[in-house]
A = this chain, B = another copy of it.
Amino acid sequence: MTEKSQENTVLIGTKPVMNYVVACMTYFNAGSNNVILKARGRATSLAVDVVEVLRRSFIKDLEIKKINIGTEELKRYEGQTANVSTLEIVISKPK
């Protein structure tokens, strides 16, 4: 987790791919250089989809700066914990 992680972060959930693609485009059009995509569990495959749609259809020279994987601990109802995998992709649009 970097210091910049609060800005330009798109959290990938259960919405359609295009929602997240539009969110990234909005950040880039507002002048951001980097956008960070964060996903957990099954949504990780969606994060990859978002980057691929962006690269293939919207920003041809999109750069994938970094891909991190990790584990997060989720607290369940009765104090149980579950481990869930996380994926973080940093993408960048050259000026």
**Interface, chain A (partner B; CB < 8 A):** 41-45, 48-49, 51-52, 56, 64, 67, 69-71, 83, 85-87, 89
Contact = CB atoms under 8 A, between A and B. Distances in A.
9 contacts: A41-B45, A44-B44, A44-B48, A48-B85, A52-B70, A52-B83, A52-B85, A64-B69, A69-B89
Contacts of A48: 44, 69, 85-87
What is the count of identical protomers in the complex?
2
Contacts of A52: 69-71, 83, 85
Nearest to A17: B85
Q: Which of A51, A56, A71, A83 has the most chain B CB atoms closer than 10 A to its own CB?
A: A71
